Amino acid sequence: MVIDTKMLGLLLRDSDIYSILEKALHGDRLGFKDINYLMKSQDTHLIGLVADRIRKEIVGDTVTFIPNQILNYTNICTVRCDFCAFYRNSGDEDSYTLNPSQVIDRAVKAWSQYNTKQVLIQGGVNPEISIEYYEEIFHGIKEKTKNLAIHGLSTSEIEFISKKERVSIKEVLQRLQNSGLDSIPGAGGEILVDRIRKKIGRRLSSVNGWLRVMEEAHKLNIPTSATMMYGHIESETDRAKHLLTIRELQKKTGGFMAFIGWNFESGSTKLEQDGLVTHSSGGMELLRIVAAARIVFRELIRNIQSSWLTNSISMAQIALINGANDWGGTLYDEEVIPATGKQVRDIKTQEILHSIKNMNRPIAERDNCYKILRYL
Ligand code: SF4
């Protein structure tokens, strides 16, 4: 549905967020107070309508996606976040670390079998792994595939390599970039509020740490994503602060390509065992976050993902009419979400095409930098 200000006026006559949505429709940048108000509002549908109109103006109707493989090379991690069900201690029966050739082989196999355009390489903070391990993997993948983009490593992994190797973040990033790293996912962002991060056991990569890695990457022309993990112990105000913090850095560097909101999956995590999170936050929260992100970032961060991975294909379709424009990736090999007990199927390109075609929207395959490669 396309709405104009007049229609909005009719729809929102009694809504207390009218003036905020009106500002958004006029292209004004919202301040903290307004964003906080949006986050707390129950008028999810109206916020979504406005966000979707802004989406249409900024990026049009095309829904993009990328054939992608998620490759988790180790589950050994010494950070042991309370919200993570994926990590294992070294020596645990089900701990694992793939050697470089195994990682390269898996990436090459998915590339030749499924024509993947990107491999997302991510694992834990494993003290046994040196920077040469990543260099070997990145070189190997580039050598054997040429055009497969490497989207890799969380800020925690990058910060740890810097500590272990006693070199600056900049030097780590330069070495990884020279080996073939193309872009960096937003992992490690969680909620950019130190008080909350401490409570969820985020012992590495505090707010400043995450921002520092992202800023260094942007300065080196390594684009990154920005993420938010919501639905645990954070408040709506913390979510508003998170979006504003990202927007401030983006104004400075312009290096964020996309925003992705991840719904927290509590299964088998310490937060669940401690009774701090008992259930998933649900679809309305997703829609509010997708819509608020579109309204807050506007053209500053042009791509907002549908977050299908933790919210299902059906919810992803609805997110695409609430401000999102990008489906995200197809998925092969992912192991982080299944560790929580939630079943995630590999989703292939045909399935994505079918879901988007049902919405009567143009579909395009993109690269890891969100450049459209071809319409389908
Ligand atoms: S979220 Fe990442 S850093 Fe934290 S325990 Fe899990 S693998 Fe380690």
Q: How far away, in angstroms, is 251 Cα from ligand 1 center?
A: 29
Q: What is the enclosing helix (H) or strand (E) of 326?
A: strand 326-329
Tokens found for residue 308: 């299908």
Task: State the Cα torsion 217-218-222-226 to the nearest 10°.
Answer: 90
Q: How far away, in angstroms, is 87 Cα from ligand 1 center?
A: 6
Q: Identify which of 187, 184, 340, 206 has the alpha carbon closest to the alpha carbon of residue 256.
A: 184
Instruction: Tell me if 156 CB under 6 Å of ligand 1.
Output: yes
Ligand 1 pocket, mutate which of 74, 77, 82 (most atoms under 8 A from CB)? 77
Residue 326 phi, psi dihedral angles, 5° rounding: -120, 135
Q: Identify which of 81, 339, 117 has the alpha carbon closest to the alpha carbon of residue 198.
A: 81
61-375 has which fold?
Answer: TIM Barrel (3.20.20)
Delimit the domains of the chain by residue range: 61-375
Instruction: Tell me if 86 CB under 6 Å of ligand 1.
Output: yes
Q: How far away, in angstroms, is 271 Cα from ligand 1 center?
A: 14
Q: How far away, in angstroms, is 88 Cα from ligand 1 center?
A: 9
Is 243:298 a contact under the CB 8 Å cutoff? no
Residue 143, C-beta contacts closer than 8 angstroms, at least 6 positions apart = none
Q: How far away, in angstroms, is 123 Cα from ligand 1 center?
A: 8
pLDDT tens track, the chain, 376 positions: 555 666 666 776 667 788 899 899 999 999 999 999 999 998 999 999 999 999 999 999 999 999 999 999 999 999 999 999 899 999 999 999 999 999 999 999 999 988 999 999 999 999 999 999 999 999 999 999 978 999 999 999 999 999 999 999 999 999 999 999 999 999 888 999 999 999 998 866 689 999 999 999 999 999 999 999 999 999 999 999 999 999 999 999 999 999 999 988 888 788 888 888 887 888 889 999 999 999 999 999 999 999 777 777 888 899 999 999 999 988 766 555 555 555 555 666 787 888 888 889 999 999 999 999 999 8
DSSP assignments along 211-238, one per residue: HHHHHHHHHTT--EEEEEEESSS--HHH
